[in-house]
C-alpha cells in the first residue's frame, strides 16, 4: 500500500534530495506540491509528476486523498504550517529544526498529539547504513565504555542578502542549529548516550549575517564521556572531512564523509586490548583497521519509507519529536552558554 503525500516547500532540500528519494520509495505516492513561489511549485510538479501545484497551504490541506505532508519550508514557517496540517488531520514529516525554539517544537508535538496525527522529524542521517552499523557495534560493547566522541559538519555559506537561514529570527540559529543538530543527534543516537551538560562557543567570524557561522560545543554525556561538535558555515566543503569519531576503553570508530546528504563515506574500526594492561613502554602497536562494508542506500528514501510505514501500520515514527526536541534543547543551551557562560580568560 502506498501513502499519499503532499509537500510544503519545494526548495533546496525537497527538490535536491527528498523528492528524488520519495520517487524511489516503495510505499509513497506524490499527490501535490506547494510553494509560496508558484513557479517553483509548478516546476517541481512537472519534474516529479505530481497531480497538483499550489501556492498556498490551505488548498493543499483541503485535498482529501493526501494522508501526510512533508514540510520543508523555511524554519519560521514550520509552526503555523504544522498546526494547520495537524488540524486538517494530516500526518506530518517535519524538517529539522522543528521550529524556531524548543518551546515551539513542543507546542507542535502537543498539537499533533491532540489531533491524533503522527509527527516525524527529518533527522535522516540516522538512516545511513554505516551509522546503524556503528550503533550496533557500540551497543554490543565492541568499543568498551565510550569515553570520547566528536562530530563535525561544515559547508561554505557566504552572505546572501535576504536569506532566511542567515537571520537567527527566521532560522532559530546558524551553523549550530542548522548543521550541528545532525551531529549532536548522531552522537546521541549512535552511542546510546544522552548529553547531561553542555557548553560552547557560537560566533560569527567570517560573514556579516545575523547568525553563527562557526560553533563548537562540548557535552558531558550521562556516562561522563565527553563529546565535541563543530559546525561551520565558513570552511569550504572540500576542505573538511566531516568526521564522526567514537573512542572507548577497547577501541575506536573513525568515520569520514558519512555526515552528509549522500549515503557514502569511509569507516575504520580499531579494536585494541590495551585496556587489559598498562603498557609502560607506551609502544603503540600498529593495529589494522577494519573497514565497514555494508550495502548503502538513499537516506531520504529510507526516511520516507519509514514514516510511511509508521502511518500505514499505525506505529510510532522511528524518529520522533521527542528526539528532535532533546537535540534542539542542547543547541539552545549551547547558545546560552556561549552568550553568558563562565570561561577563563587566557
Ligand atoms: N535534512 C536535511 O538533509 C536538510 C537539508 C537542508 C535543509 N533542511 C531543512 O529543510 C528546510 C528547508 O530548507 P531548504 O534548504 O530547502 O530551504 P530553501 O530556502 O532552499 O527552500 C525553502 C522553500 O520554501 C519556500 N517557501 C518560503 N516560504 C514558504 C511558505 N510560507 N510556504 C511554503 N513554502 C515556502 C521557498 O520559496 C523555497 O522554495 C529547513 O527546515 C532546513 O533546515 C534539511
8 lines ligand 1 (CB under 6 A): yes
Closest CA to 196 of 229, 215, 224: 224
Quick check: 255 and 134 in contact, CB under 8 A?
A: yes
The beta strand positions in the chain, using DSSP E, are 3-8, 28-34, 52-54, 68-71, 91-94, 119-121, 146-154, 195-203, 214-221, 226-232, 243-248, 251-256, 266-271, 290-291
> What atom of ligand 1 comes closest to residue 10's alpha carbon?
39
303 lines ligand 1 (CB under 6 A): no
> What would the mean pLDDT of 114-125 be, rounded to a whole number?
98
10 lines ligand 1 (CB under 6 A): yes
320, β-bridge pairs = 120
Give the pairing type, strands 214-221 and 28-34: unpaired
pLDDT at 275 over 60: no
**Residue 285: what pLDDT?**
65
pLDDT at 56 over 90: yes
pLDDT digits (tens, 9 = 90+) for 132-169: 999 999 999 999 999 999 999 999 999 999 999 999 99
Quick check: 289 and 300 in contact, CB under 8 A?
A: no
Q: Where are the alpha helices (DSSP H) in 49-202?
A: 57-61, 75-87, 102-115, 129-139, 168-171, 175, 181-191
- Which of 34, 73, 237 most suits a substitution to test ligand 1, by most atoms within 8 Å of the C-beta? 73
- Which of 72, 184, 300 most suits a substitution to test ligand 1, by most atoms within 8 Å of the C-beta? 72
Q: Please report which confidence band the pLDDT of residue 289 belongs to, taking 50, 70 and 90 as the band edges.
A: confident
Region of poorest pLDDT, from 184-193, 230-239, 248-257, 278-287: 278-287
Q: Whose CA is nearest to atom 11 of ligand 1?
A: 72
Residues in Cβ contact with 209 at an 8 Å cutoff, skipping those fewer than 6 apart: 159, 163, 166, 167, 174
Task: Measure 290 CA to ligand 1 centroid, in angstroms.
Answer: 38
122 lines ligand 1 (CB under 6 A): yes
59 lines ligand 1 (CB under 6 A): no
| Integer Cα distance of 244 and 144 in angstroms | 18
On the question of a cis peptide bond just before residue 21, with omega within 30 degrees of 0, the verdict is: no
Give the pairing type, strands 266-271 and 214-221: unpaired
> What atom of ligand 1 comes closest to residue 124's alpha carbon?
1
| Integer Cα distance of 226 and 148 in angstroms | 5
Task: Measure 123 CA to ligand 1 centroid, in angstroms.
Answer: 14
pLDDT at 273 over 70: no
Closest CA to 79 of 59, 99, 96: 99
Structural domains of the chain in order of their starting residue, each with its CATH number: 3-124+300-318 (3.40.50.720), 129-262+264-297 (3.30.360.10)
Q: Whose CA is nearest to atom 14 of ligand 1?
A: 12
| Integer Cα distance of 52 and 50 in angstroms | 6
pLDDT at 126 over 80: yes
CA dihedral 296, 297, 300, 304 (to 10 degrees): -120
Q: State residue 269 phi and psi, 5-degree precision.
A: -115, 130
pLDDT digits (tens, 9 = 90+) for 72-119: 999 999 999 999 999 999 999 999 999 999 999 999 999 999 999 999
**Residue 168: what pLDDT?**
97
Amino acid at each position: 500500500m502506498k501513502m499519499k503525500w503532499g509537500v510544503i516547500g519545494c526548495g533546496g532540500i525537497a527538490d535536491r534530495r527528498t523528492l528524488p528519494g520519495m520517487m524511489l520509495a516503495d510505499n509513497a505516492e506524490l499527490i501535490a506540491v506547494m510553494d509560496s513561489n508558484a513557479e517553483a511549485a509548478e516546476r517541481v510538479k512537472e519534474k516529479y509528476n505530481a497531480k497538483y501545484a499550489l501556492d498556498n497551504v490551505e488548498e493543499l490541506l483541503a485535498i482529501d486523498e493526501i494522508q501526510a505532508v512533508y514540510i520543508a519550508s523555511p524554519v519560521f514557517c514550520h509552526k503555523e504550517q504544522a498546526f494547520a496540517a495537524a488540524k486538517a488531520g494530516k500526518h506530518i514529516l517535519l524538517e529539522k529544526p522543528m521550529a524556531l525554539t524548543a518551546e515551539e517544537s513542543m507546542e507542535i508535538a502537543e498539537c499533533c498529539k491532540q489531533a491524533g496525527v503522527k509527527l516525524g522529524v527529518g533527522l535522516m542521517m540516522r538512516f545511513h547504513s554505516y551509522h546503524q552499523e556503528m550503533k550496533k557495534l557500540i551497543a554490543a560493547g565492541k568499543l568498551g565504555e565510550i569515553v570520547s566522541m566528536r562530530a563535525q559538519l561544515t559547508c561554505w555559506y557566504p552572505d546572501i542578502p535576504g536569506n532566511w537561514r542567515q537571520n537567527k529570527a527566521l532560522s532559530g540559529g546558524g551553523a549550530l542549529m542548522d548543521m550541528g543538530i545532525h551531529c549532536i543527534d548522531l552522537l546521541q543516537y549512535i552511542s546510546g548516550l544522552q548529553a547531561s551538560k553542555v557548553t560552547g562557543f557560537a560566533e560569527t567570524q567570517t560573514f556579516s549575517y545575523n547568525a553563527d557561522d562557526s560553533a563548537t560545543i562540548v557535552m558531558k554525556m550521562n556516562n561522563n564521556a565527553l563529546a565535541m561538535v563543530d559546525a561551520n558555515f565558513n570552511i569550504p566543503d572540500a576542505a573538511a572531512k566531516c568526521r564522526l569519531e567514537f573512542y572507548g576503553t577497547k577501541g575506536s570508530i573513525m568515520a569520514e564523509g558519512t555526515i552528509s546528504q549522500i549515503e557514502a563515506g569511509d569507516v575504520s574500526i580499531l579494536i585494541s586490548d590495551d585496556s587489559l594492561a598498562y603498557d609502560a613502554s607506551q609502544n603503540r602497536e600498529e593495529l589494522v583497521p577494519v573497514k565497514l562494508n555494508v550495502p548503502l542506500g538513499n537516506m531520504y528514501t529510507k526516511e520516507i519509507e519509514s514514516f510511511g510505514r509508521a502511518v500505514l501500520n499505525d506505529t510510532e515514527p522511528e524518529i520522533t519529536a521527542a528526539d528532535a526536541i532533546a537535540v534542539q534543547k542542547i543547541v539552545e543551551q549551547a547558545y546560552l552558554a556561549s552568550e553568558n557562560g563562565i570561561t577563563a580568560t587566557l
